[in-house]
Amino acid sequence: AQKVTQAQTEISVVEKEDVTLDCVYETRDTTYYLFWYKQPPSGELVFLIRRNSFDEQNEISGRYSWNFQKSTSSFNFTITASQVVDSAVYFCALRMMNTGFQKLVFGTGTRLLVSP
């Protein structure tokens, strides 16, 4: 079975602080995808990034960066110089690769509050 754990329920920071959201996953499969989604108050899930299991190269995109470590089954997400607009719930998700079943398994989410 697959499982995603986001231990941080809520994080509060002041604007311009850096913040890291943790994600730990469990799967017996060797090939899989990992995702981060953002859910603003409007409710829709906004795709941020996808990583596959054989690509551990970390990535930076603007103020966002991701740290994928297969050895510790972690896929952490960092926002540099946070802004009020970053306030949202962030979900980490897992999907198996070699299957026609494309179910996303989500963590419970981390609510990020960025105050001015």
Partner 1 sequence: EAGVAQSPRYKIIEKRQSVAFWCNPISGHATLYWYQQILGQGPKLLIQFQNNGVVDDSQLPKDRFSAERLKGVDSTLKIQPAKLEDSAVYLCASSLGRGSYGYTFGSGTRLTVV
Does residue number 4 form part of the binding site for partner 1 (CB under 8 A)?
Answer: yes
Rg, C-alpha atoms of the chain: 14
Give the range of 19-27, 54-62, 66-74, 95-103 binding partner 1 by CB under 8 A: 95-103
Q: Which one of 21, 66, 95, 114 is in contact with partner 1 (CB under 8 A)?
A: 95
Mask for 32-61, x = binds partner 1 (CB under 8 A): -x---x----xxxxxx--x-----------
Distant-in-sequence contacts of 61-66, Cβ < 8 A, 24+ apart: 66/36
With contacts defined by CB under 8 A, how many residues of the chain interact with partner 1? 22
For the CA atoms of 32, 6, 79, 61, the dihedral, rounded to the nearest 10 degrees, stands at 10
What is the SS3 assignment for 72?
A: helix
